[in-house]
Structure 1
Amino acid sequence: MKLRKIVYGMLCMGALASCSDQMNYHEYNNYDEDFVKLNFSNVGGLITTIYLDLDTDFGNYSGAILGSATDESQYAYTGNSIETFYNGSWSPTNAQSGTWSTCYSGISNCNLFLDKYVGLTFPELEQNADYKPQMFRYNNYQYEVRFLRAYFYFNLVRQYGDVPFIDHFLSADESNTLSRTPAKDIFDYIISECDDIKDLIIEDYANLPADVVLPSESPETGRVNKATVLALKARAALYAASPLFNTDNNPELWHRAATANKELLDYCVNERGMKLVSDYASLWDKNNYKNATDELIFGRRANRESSTMESYNYPVGIEGGNGGNCPTQNLVDAYETTDGYDVRLVNGAWIADGSRVFDKAKPYDNRDPRLRMTICVNEETGWPTWNEGTIYTYQGGANGQPLNGGTPTGYYLKKYCQGDIDLRSNSTNKSAYHTWITYRLGEFYLNYAEAVFRYLGSADATDAEFTMSARQAASMTREREGVGMPAFPLNMSNDAFWEAYKKERMVELAFEGHRFWDVRRWKEADKYFVNIEGLQISKTGDNTAYSYATVVNTRQWDDKMYLFPIPQSERMKNPNLSQNPGW
């Protein structure tokens, strides 16, 4: 058996990582099975290769993020491949199929490890001083790999629905005879795998028994552990219960989702002492792997320093900035006033009926604090942190249209950008590590709220099993210290709560890769993904005031797009692959 690539070194990648910024990966090509079995490092190399297939999105579409195919943002440049999702060019021959190839490559490597490299004892290394701790890690690899395989299947099923299922290593010829396994069975498999390994995998790399700690290393807390396994199970259960997959609204699937998310919350909060962090922006800060561990469950940390996220998204008009993914007015409208009222632009005038704190002359003041942590607005100062000027996004402003790349929406993106990365030519701080948030506690309060609401039937309902109501759970992210938004009120109608919940989820999880999939699993894309709003800001009068107008960008939507097309290239190799409806 030949391996095309083995990459190994210290894996330093995750939400809880407490490790050196020096990550030296070494690549070895075309070594056979005997080489992999030679020592711990070589086996670990295969594991690292699999970890590197975990997904991130710091601009996967030539700078555009998946959020720019939703109502979160609009990419500033036309002709980008992100437009495929809404301009009518999406098809089986233009399938946007990177997830298919990446996930099946990862699954193949997982199956290879589980078939070939479990049960080794390395007898020639028994006399080494580190033999016991190394064997301890090696024996845990099989559970990490089973998680990773389930993770890849989750990414596939949410994107394609029914997909081919493989749980052992196959040749390419054998793989190309498989038919698609129903999505329900894939979800059941993911949840079953998580249940099987949750009490077998290492619980916490930061608290290992003393006799298995390697004296020369920092804790490998960026690796998969019990909390990560429970997080995958909880998210998979929510998706399986959602309308896209739960077509007959089976209440038992909502019960399973509520139970799984409660299990995760109970474990993280009661056993691990985790909580929502008080500094919301620390969740994506370059030091989140050590400063936001109260909330972060798992993250995929980049294996090298970069500044591409900043270069893509810093405002046009400052050195090194290219505009990029510009938050929409749809998203900005989701941020309430600090006393909990909606803000809207009506006939050119800002209104927030009922609010005692809103000033229509300063429409971004006294808003949910997460707005200014996520989005750069007109007249913003201190963004990026080294910028001594003011950001002006109005028409003709220093950072607005008609500059090439000037924001088409009136806003620029801050979230996931490290504001101290200085792209000026004389800077010595031009790059940093970035961590993609895979799982964090805030998501699972919201997941729980959605599942309990659907299962018990109202926002305030509780029972002996679910003692926290959907309203209480959905209020947690709003009420976090440092945000301080008011809790959702008692006695909301079901329709009112559902709309408020979706808005809170959009705000809390903005640009973390959820919106594209949430709206699809709810089957509400025709409501949210067609009319994408931006803001045209103009100077008025003596140039001391502004006028505002909503600009609507209409996108195409067809219900077949709830699922991706099966790539035609794959169907040509495998005649047993059926196509998704409408494609």
Structure 2
Amino acid sequence: MKLKRIIYGALSMALLASCSDQMNYHEYTNNDKEYIARNFGYVGGLITDLYISLDADFGNYSGAILGAATDEAEYAYTGNEIYDFFNGAWSPSNPKSSLWNKNYTAIAKCNQFMEEFTGLTFPELKYNADYEKQMFRYNNYQYEVRFLRAYFYFNLVRQYGDVPFTDHVMTPAEANTLSRKPAQEVFNYIIDECDNIKDEIIEDYSKLGDMALGKSETARANKITVLALKARTALYAASPLFNPENVKELWYRAAKANKELLDACEKAGMNLVSYASLFGDTNWQATSEIIFGKRNAESNSFESYNFPIGVEGGKGGNCPTQTLVDAYEFQATGLRPDETEGWDPNKPYYDKRDPRFALTIIKNGDGGGSEKEGKRWPSYNENTLQTYYGGANGEPLSGGTPTSYYLKKYCNAAVDLRSGKSTKMRHTWIIFRLGEVYLNYAESVYRYLDENPYATTKEFPMSAVSAINKVRARTGVNMPAFPDKMSKEAFWKKYKNERMVELAFEGHRFWDVRRWKEADKHFKSIDEMKITRNVGGDYNYERKTVNRQWDDKMYLFPIPQSERTKNPNLTQNPGW
């Protein structure tokens, strides 16, 4: 296991001001303990290194995103490693273990920081004009580190269930004797840790007064970020995968934690913003809704992976499924196409759908027009997209979409991939945002209040339906409210659909379906749409179902065989 003492031989470091627009990296080579302890900036660089270890999914699987292992998308290149999740190639010897290695390495760094780099006073710097401000930030680092350590453990327990646990620096020999700590105990640790630091960590970096350094610090964890981790952890701990006996007290804890978070967001003046503003290169400015995100350096790799084939520089990539397209309801009625009288499954019914559809997915006939109209996709493409078979952007071209759709969400249309004109832009991966919190609260309070979606109490005055309706009524979406008098079965179906639409391609679907233990309903197949063009210029649409492999052992990842070889105390997850 990679739970070992970290020796910082060469560490990419940055002054952790978390500037509103970028992080500037510097190289230091003499990073032994004594050297680092001499300077605020050097210690701050250790914290920055931990923030860099946060997860994001702008194509982690050789361009494929985790959504392509779900019913959200299909990757256009069948040889991609994402197919291992559902073609039988996934195993303890092919465990998809990058998260294991990355998070345990980060946890080891957190442990080392807490043991070796807290309690410093920097006496050589005490006469500097900014000494008091720098010490103020330094004293906050320990709470940021404890949050980050808890977050890394959440990633691990979500993926593996029971996991090895340590909160102190260990020798390799110690690390290789750890057994797996029960998942509920790890969840409890995360929640307790959040409770212990929520009133210690800086509450709002924009309101530091005399302690401000004159720079925006919105990329750092604050009190609301800590509450967000607590609330999401409580939801997972209460979910069927980890709570098979449906212990009601766990749902109460989840509802209470999400209510606490919503109250804190309201107190801070946060609110739901336009859906369109959440996923572009300036989305980090949407601080009214985005609680926490990982800011990546300028790049164009995500656009390269996902701009349509046939557009210069585009490779196709993560193609939304017809399954996902079907989830977008008609705006006038709030009904899916398959809930609408006269529905023909071989017709896509694109018109008058939920506005989130057009903000998430590119379809046949989109793009083109003048640049002034702002409808081109991407902005440098002058041609209308042809995703039908034989079209300029369709099959049988290598990389042509197998579903007839391309991904729009998180792709920036202003990125130019043309030779000699290439441009790059910033990308911020959203880790926590208010829209998700309303949905998490709705699920938690629904389960706690006897699966009555309209129930309220003095402690929980907002019903599950009311919370969801806030998300649907946001600016630029304006979808009809959930109907009155739904059965619990009808509510649960509609809630899952709302979550799929609202959080599409944000990394939730893979984990939501697992924690619900409903993969047999959603992950055994996907639907594609095959489009052909007739001589007269109209189109034929044919729905095609593609089967995928699912085994219940896949609810949890396999423990890497390489780790079990090093540590005989690591048991394997069931079925692997």
TM-score (norm 1): 0.94
Q: 1:467 aligns with which of 452, 461, 481?
A: 461
Paired residue secondary structure (1:333):
helix
Q: Give deviations 1:6-36, integer Å, cap 9, x for gaps.
A: 32214476xxxx5244x32113346221111
Paired residue secondary structure (2:431):
strand
Q: 2:355 aligns with which of 366, 369, 374?
A: 369
Paired residue secondary structure (1:305):
strand
Q: Give deviations 1:241-270, integer Å, cap 9, x for gaps.
A: 00000010001100000000011111001x
1:219–1:127: structure 2 CA closer, same or farther, 3 Å change rule? same
Q: Does 1:424 align with 2:418?
A: yes
Distance 2:559 2:325 in 1: 35
Matched with 1:396 is 390
> 1:131-280, aligned counterparts within 5 Å?
131-210=131-210, 212-214=211-213, 217-269=214-266, 271-277=267-273, 279-280=274-275
Deviation at 1:487? 0.7
24-33 or 483-492, larger mean C-alpha shift: 24-33
Instruction: Confirm or deny: 8 A CA contact 1:342 1:353 kept in the other structure.
Output: no
Matched with 2:60 is 60
Paired residue secondary structure (1:390):
coil
Matched with 1:286 is 281
Distance 2:17 2:69 in 1: 31
One-letter amino acid of the counterpart of residue 58, structure 1: F
Paired residue secondary structure (1:537):
strand
Paired residue secondary structure (2:164):
coil
Instruction: Confirm or deny: 8 A CA contact 1:54 1:300 kept in the other structure.
Output: yes
Distance 1:276 1:56 in 2: 22
One-letter amino acid of the counterpart of residue 8, structure 2: L
Deviation at 1:477? 1.3
Instruction: Confirm or deny: 8 A CA contact 1:12 1:301 kept in the other structure.
Output: no
Deviation at 1:207? 1.1
Paired residue secondary structure (2:254):
helix
Instruction: Confirm or deny: 8 A CA contact 1:395 1:536 kept in the other structure.
Output: yes
Matched with 2:373 is none
Instruction: Confirm or deny: 8 A CA contact 1:519 1:525 kept in the other structure.
Output: yes
> 1:456-535, aligned counterparts within 5 Å?
456-457=449-450, 458-535=452-529
- Flag structure 2 segments of 5+ consecutive residues without an equivalent: 368-375
Matched with 2:340 is 352
Deviation at 1:481? 1.4
One-letter amino acid of the counterpart of residue 327, structure 2: A
Q: Does 1:19 align with 2:20?
A: yes
Distance 1:174 1:31 in 2: 25
Deviation at 1:361? 7.9
Distance 2:379 2:257 in 1: 41
Q: Does 1:101 align with 2:134?
A: no
Distance 2:453 2:21 in 1: 45
Matched with 1:86 is 86
One-letter amino acid of the counterpart of residue 400, structure 2: G
Distance 1:574 1:285 in 2: 44
Q: 1:320 aligns with which of 313, 324, 333?
A: 313
Paired residue secondary structure (2:299):
coil
Paired residue secondary structure (1:420):
coil
Distance 1:4 1:92 in 2: 31
One-letter amino acid of the counterpart of residue 339, structure 1: A
Matched with 2:128 is 128
Instruction: Confirm or deny: 8 A CA contact 2:95 2:560 kept in the other structure.
Output: yes
Deviation at 1:552? 1.3
1:183–1:63: structure 2 CA closer, same or farther, 3 Å change rule? same
Distance 1:413 1:256 in 2: 37
One-letter amino acid of the counterpart of residue 113, structure 1: F
Matched with 2:372 is none
Matched with 1:348 is none
Q: Give deviations 1:75-123, integer Å, cap 9, x for gaps.
A: 0001111011111011111000011111100100000000111111111
One-letter amino acid of the counterpart of residue 581, structure 1: P
Matched with 1:69 is 69
Matched with 2:371 is none
> Paired residues, what number?
562
Instruction: Confirm or deny: 8 A CA contact 1:316 1:405 kept in the other structure.
Output: yes
1:433–1:322: structure 2 CA closer, same or farther, 3 Å change rule? same
1:268–1:341: structure 2 CA closer, same or farther, 3 Å change rule? closer
TM-score (norm 2): 0.95
